[in-house]
Amino acid sequence: MILDIQRMSTEDGPGLRTTVFFKGCNLSCAWCHNPESISPRPDLFWFAQKCIGCGTCEGSCSRGVITREQGRVRFNRAQCAAGTPAAGDCRRCVEACPNGAIELKGEAREVESLCGELLKDRAYFGPEGGVTLSGGEAVLQSAVTVLARLLKEAGLSVALDTAGAYDFRVLEGILPFVDLVLYDLKIFESALHRSFTGADNRLILENYRKLMERGSRVWVRTPIIEGATDSEENIAAIGRFIREAGPPEKWELCAFNNLCRDKYERLDLDWAYKTAGLTRKEHIKALTQTARALVPSAVWSGSTV
């Protein structure tokens, strides 16, 4: 179940890459930039600015998912059966809308056909680029291991973007077909990690250690989120941990942006960070200095103010 394919990506590993975003995640980070990737099933997006209020969508769904209130289209999302055995690839509401105001995000793909599509992009990969498997949490779908194997057998460089919150056996199966692991380490303190992501970080830290013991090529990524991950204490704690467990080839501190705000609106979700601004440059530079004192490969990236 894929969400999207992004081509010519420069932020998901070395060189020019094609990134495949898979649906389904076992974390629920408060700042998530891909909220439509969390559910393993398709999600309905509604574009308020495209809606002409015709009401056609209301009658299109036999499950009574859609109503309208005060000019807004409302979805009883739990009742939408798209992607289930009962309804399969139902997208009647999408097709009924005359103005493209409803989209279904998420599509089931055959591994072989997806692989064939990705192989066409090798023309622009060059010596460094390749395919990055991202999400959501890509490894939660066993078919992703099959895809990684097919890509590797075809001679492509494969990167895996993961948060590592699962039993290591899940990761072990795909590692032989992966050249680079992009590994998220967000918050070191366990209770804080749980409160912002919904999950404990014990497995995440253990799995990082195991990756380094295996000699995997790893880039660590830490999102810089105000009030959550952006304290000197947190960056220093992560730095001490990765210095001791095995320093990565690169540790990237990624500045926050709020470009995903519209996605929350399309999903009818409130977002705690909807009014948060970009990370201050001085702040991320200071955090990077702290990080670099412990792990020399630390860098920062992203737009700042």
Contact set with ligand SF4 (CB under 6 A): 51-57, 60-61, 63, 65-66, 73, 80-82, 87, 90-93, 96-97, 99, 101-102, 104
- The residue among 51 and 235 lying less far from ligand SF4, judged by its C-beta, is 51
Going by the DSSP 8-state scheme, the letter that residue 255 receives in this structure is E
- Compute the least distance from the CB of residue 96 to ligand SF4, in Å: 6
- The residue among 47 and 166 lying less far from ligand SF4, judged by its C-beta, is 47
- The residue among 43 and 184 lying less far from ligand SF4, judged by its C-beta, is 43
Please compute, for residue 262, the number of CA atoms within 13 A of its CA located in the half-sphere on the CB side. Answer: 5
- Compute the least distance from the CB of residue 95 to ligand SF4, in Å: 9
- Compute the least distance from the CB of residue 144 to ligand SF4, in Å: 25
- Compute the least distance from the CB of residue 84 to ligand SF4, in Å: 9
Question: Tokens at residue 97, please?
Answer: 């809308």
- Compute the least distance from the CB of residue 61 to ligand SF4, in Å: 3
- Compute the least distance from the CB of residue 174 to ligand SF4, in Å: 31
Cβ 249 vs Cβ 255: under 8 Å:
no
State how far the Cα of 201 lies from the Cα of 10, in Å rounded to an integer.
Answer: 28
- Closest Cα partner for 128 from 104, 98, 108, 158? 158
Residue with tokens 């660590």: 220
Q: Which whole-number Å values give the CA distances from 251 to 243, 254, 272, in the listed order? A: 11, 10, 27
- Closest Cα partner for 235 from 182, 181, 191, 299? 299
- The residue among 90 and 204 lying less far from ligand SF4, judged by its C-beta, is 90
- The residue among 78 and 123 lying less far from ligand SF4, judged by its C-beta, is 78
- Closest Cα partner for 25 from 250, 178, 184? 184
- The residue among 97 and 284 lying less far from ligand SF4, judged by its C-beta, is 97
Cβ 35 vs Cβ 267: under 8 Å:
yes
